């Protein structure tokens, strides 16, 4: 954001003059290696120049005095080596560059930059050298420091020794941060650095360092008790006031942050005031950290009401493929014009607030956003986006192999550019268990099974994982079980294949009785008594091609069964003579008998006598069991011919104490639909039943009836001819 990042609107809020003291507001030291042990030392110092005193070290003040700019050299053990005095600096005021015609640069603001340079000779030394410059003081109105007016500053740099690198020049930051930033607006400042050696750079927020005090504001000041040289490292960070620290140096939401790869400094400050911020750049060569370059500066957060600001959120991920959704972080805009930087078309524009665009190919594209286009107060921002194909790794699982001599090769496939890293995980049963090759070969497993395999591809800051599996066949091992394995002849046995085999196979069963089968899970009937050995053979056709045989000696035992048999006399009889005699004729070691007579009765003696209680056709069953628990069953039909009869007394004595003839009931047999009724002489029904075996006890509603003559009526249907019968008579109740 070209205007916002550099000026960030000095326009609206100026700190009153009385709040500014004449102090340093930022700086850094860096160096260039010139060869032959010669180094050119550079130092940039920024000070508040509006109040005018004192000037930068090395310049003449109003009284004609000069404060010499001393810097000191220490070795790796912090031993003093030499002190040097910079020549007078080149200096100039940092201009408020305002490209927006709607903004007017403020007055009463002055930041002066002093550039110091000096060439010195430092012979190679193990551990290298430290360069240090110290000064006092910072502004007393800074919000994130304790007693800020008495806090000094130290700018220092470490030159690595020849055991780390033989030749090196330090990185240096490309731009000085904006002097003013707006409250409530993203900072969005490019804080990147360059490195003369082309080393890899990474950015972090870090601690600024304290320096000299107001009592001893400069080195070799001539004040009693003050240092004559810059103090040796290690140096003390500035005293931040809680909750602020080097990683969270100012009040901001979201918190101030810096992109480790690009150096983009961002965050949205939310409290007006002055804040000290430190930024470091790490210098990496061949994966080794060889140095850290420090810089600190003072941010002034001010209110900027109504400012039109164009801002595009920087790229934080590269994992979206060719379709990019843009994050518009502009303020106070009413219309927008996007250009997506696609040189292959003129249709790469949009007026949406947050559009998305699909690029035709990978590449770096410069995206431009104009807020309030075609107006005098338009603002423009650009952002470079790196577009890569969507990362979608995959692989085709190789065909299964036998555990014997297995060796698998894998090929990374799917969608990736190929410039990233590959991480295969084959599991603990594989040798090797992991690989970083794109197409690993000769992966050997030490046991059979199905094993998950994952491929993780990382490139362009994106990471994706694909998981599949590989199968290792076991050597076939024949095995089986059966149920039951003991029983009575004829014995039905179900056999179950439980072999260890993963590929198609053929099966051969030898049941031990002269019969065989080629089914996988056959059923076999053993008709004869005996003990049988079962042999099972499997042969695989693919994978681990082999034959395996499993033999179970004397596995099946078939026990003899008894033979049930009996006679009954008679097998046909009348219901008036319903008794029969059973004679057992079973054989085969019978030890238990059970007779079921068909009308509910049973008996367990070998030769029972039984009396039927009703007429009908019955299937008499005999179940016999031998000592092996083997049963057999025989049946014999029994017919009981129905007959019927009827007789009833003419008197009874229900109330005598001799208990002789106390119940009045008829004698009936071979009837159904039975009804027995009794009436008194006035025709009132005093007793009723439908049960053949029930009779009247001479009471009515619980009371004894009087001695008298009563009328009875009986209706029924006989079971022989199924005719209905009705009988009526009298009965005398006698005492």
The sign of the CA dihedral 621, 624, 630, 634 is negative
Q: Would you state the pLDDT for residue 102?
A: 58
Segment 274-290 shows an average pLDDT of: 96
Closest CA to 218 of 354, 69, 365, 105: 69
Name the band, by pLDDT with cuts 50, 70 and 90, for residue 105. Answer: low
**323-387 shares its CATH topology with 566-641:** yes
Nearest to 154 by CA among 70, 68, 34, 36: 70
Domain covering 392-473, topology = Immunoglobulin-like (2.60.40)
pLDDT in tens, 591-614: 999 999 999 999 999 999 999 988
**Phi and psi angles of residue 229, each rounded to the nearest 5 degrees, phi first:** -135, 160
- Residue 660: the pLDDT is 84
**Which of 534, 473, 533 is closest to 505 using CA atoms?**
473
Residues 187 and 4: their CA atoms lie apart, in Å, by: 8
> Phi and psi dihedrals of 19, rounded to 5?
-85, -10
- In 3D space, the residue among 110, 115, 122 whose CA is nearest the CA of residue 22 turns out to be 110
What gap in Å lies between CA 59 and CA 39, rounded to an integer? 24
Q: Looking at the predicted structure, is the pLDDT value of residue 95 above 90?
A: no
3-class state of residue 5 by DSSP: helix
Concatenated DSSP letters for 94-105? PP-----TT---
Please give the average per-residue pLDDT across 187-209, as a whole number: 95
The residue ranges of every structural domain in the chain are: 2-302, 323-387, 392-473, 480-559, 566-641, 645-733
pLDDT at 646: 87
pLDDT in tens, 625-656: 999 999 999 999 999 988 888 889 888 888 88
Overall CATH class of domain 480-559: mainly beta
Assigned CATH topology for domain 566-641: Immunoglobulin-like (2.60.40)
What is the per-residue pLDDT across 7-46, written as a single tens digit (0 to 9) for each? 333 333 333 333 333 478 899 999 999 999 999 999 999 9
Quick one: fold of 323-387?
Answer: Immunoglobulin-like (2.60.40)
pLDDT for res 287: 92
Q: What is the pLDDT of residues 301-325, one digit of tens each?
A: 887 777 788 889 888 778 888 999 9
At 99 the pLDDT is 36
Nearest to 575 by CA among 533, 611, 523, 546: 611
Q: Above pLDDT 90, what percent of the chain?
A: 72
Domain 645-733 class in CATH:
mainly beta
Annotate 112-145 with b (16+ C-beta within 10 A) or e (fewer): bbbebeeebebeeeeebbbbbbbbbbbbbbbbbb
Confidence band, pLDDT 50/70/90 cuts, at residue 331: confident
Residue 615 near residue 587, CB atoms below 8 Å? no
* Residue from 321, 357, 350, 323 nearest 336 by CA: 350
Write the Ramachandran bin of 286: left for phi over 0, alpha for psi from -120 to 50, otherwise beta.
left
Which residues, other chains included, contact 143 with Cβ-Cβ below 8 Å and sequence gap of 6+? 241, 250, 251, 271, 273, 274, 275
pLDDT for position 103: 54
Task: Give the Cα separation of 566 and 633 in Å (integer).
Answer: 10
User: pLDDT band for position 96 (50/70/90)?
Assistant: low
What pLDDT is attached to residue 107? 60
pLDDT of residue 106: 58
At residue 687, the pLDDT reads 95
Q: Please tell me the predicted confidence (pLDDT) of residue 33.
A: 97
């Amino acid at each position: 954001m070209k205007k916002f990042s550099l000026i960030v609107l000095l326009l609206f809020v100026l700190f009153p003059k009385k709040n500014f003291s004449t102090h340093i507001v930022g700086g850094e030291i860096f160096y260039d290696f010139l060869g032959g042990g010669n180094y050119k030392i550079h130092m940039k110092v920024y000070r508040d120049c509006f109040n005018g005193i004192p000037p930068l070290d090395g310049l003449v003040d109003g009284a004609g005095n000069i404060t010499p700019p001393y810097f000191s050299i220490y070795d790796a053990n912090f031993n003093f080596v030499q002190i040097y005095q910079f020549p007078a600096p080149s200096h100039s005021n940092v201009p408020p560059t305002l490209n927006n015609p709607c903004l007017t640069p403020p007055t009463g603001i002055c930041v002066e930059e002093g550039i110091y340079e000096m060439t010195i000779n430092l012979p190679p030394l193990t551990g290298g050298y430290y360069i240090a410059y110290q000064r006092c003081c910072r502004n007393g109105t800074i919000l994130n420091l304790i007693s800020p007016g008495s806090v000094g500053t130290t700018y220092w740099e470490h030159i690595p020794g020849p055991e780390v690198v033989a030749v090196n020049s330090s990185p240096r930051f490309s731009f000085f941060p904006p002097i003013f930033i707006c409250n409530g607006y993203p900072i969005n400042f490019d804080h990147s650095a360059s490195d003369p050696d082309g080393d890899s750079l990474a950015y972090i927020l870090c601690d600024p360092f304290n320096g000299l005090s107001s009592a001893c504001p400069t080195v070799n000041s001539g004040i009693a008790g003050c240092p004559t040289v810059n103090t040796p490292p290690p140096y003390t960070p500035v005293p931040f006031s809680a909750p602020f620290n080097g990683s969270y140096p100012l009040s901001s939401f979201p918190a101030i942050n810096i992109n480790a790869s690009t150096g983009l400094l961002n965050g949205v400050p939310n409290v007006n005031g002055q804040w000290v911020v430190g930024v470091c750049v790490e210098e990496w060569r061949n994966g080794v950290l060889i140095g850290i370059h420090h810089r600190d500066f003072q941010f002034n957060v001010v209110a900027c009401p109504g400012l039109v600001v164009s801002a595009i959120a920087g790229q934080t991920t590269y994992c979206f493929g060719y379709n990019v959704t843009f994050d518009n972080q502009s303020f106070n805009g009413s219309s927008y014009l996007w250009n997506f930087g696609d040189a292959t078309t003129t249709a790469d524009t949009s007026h949406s607030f947050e559009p998305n665009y699909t690029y035709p190919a990978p590449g770096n594209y410069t995206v431009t956003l104009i807020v309030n286009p075609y107006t005098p107060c338009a603002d423009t921002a650009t952002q470079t986006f790196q577009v890569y194909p969507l990362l979608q790794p995959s692989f085709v699982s190789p065909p299964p192999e036998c555990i014997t001599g297995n060796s698998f090769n894998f090929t990374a496939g799917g969608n990736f550019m190929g410039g990233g890293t590959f991480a295969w995980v084959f599991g603990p049963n594989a040798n090797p268990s992991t690989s970083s090759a794109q197409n690993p070969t000769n992966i050997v497993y030490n046991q059979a099974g199905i094993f998950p395999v994952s491929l993780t591809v990382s490139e362009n800051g994106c990471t994706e994982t694909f998981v599949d599996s590989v199968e290792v066949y076991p050597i076939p091992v024949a095995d089986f079980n059966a149920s039951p394995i003991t029983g009575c002849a004829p014995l039905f046995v179900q056999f179950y294949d439980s072999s260890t085999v993963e590929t198609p196979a053929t099966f051969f069963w030898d049941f031990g009785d002269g019969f065989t089968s080629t089914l996988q899970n056959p059923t076999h009937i053993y008709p004869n008594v005996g003990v049988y050995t079962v042999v099972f053979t499997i042969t695989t056709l693919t994978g681990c091609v082999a034959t395996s045989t499993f033999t179970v000696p004397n596995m099946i035992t078939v026990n003899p069964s008894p033979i049930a048999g009996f006679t009954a006399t008679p097998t046909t009889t009348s219901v008036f003579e319903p008794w029969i005699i059973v004679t057992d004729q079973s054989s085969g070691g019978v030890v238990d008998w059970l007779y079921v007579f068909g009308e509910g009765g049973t008996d367990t003696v070998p030769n029972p006598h039984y009396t039927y209680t009703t007429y009908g056709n019955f299937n008499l069953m005999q179940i016999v069991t031998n000592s092996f628990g083997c049963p057999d069953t025989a049946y014999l039909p029994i017919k009981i011919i129905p007959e019927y009869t009827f007789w009833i007394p003419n008197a009874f004595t229900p109330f005598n104490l001799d208990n002789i003839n106390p119940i009045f009931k008829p004698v009936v047999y071979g009837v159904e639909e039975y009804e027995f009724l009794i009436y008194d002489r006035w025709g009132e029904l005093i007793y009723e039943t439908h049960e053949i075996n029930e009779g009247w006890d001479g009471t009515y509603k619980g009371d004894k009836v009087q001695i008298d003559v009563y009328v009875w009526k009986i209706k029924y249907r006989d079971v022989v001819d199924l005719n209905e019968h009705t009988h009526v008579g009298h009965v005398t109740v006698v005492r």
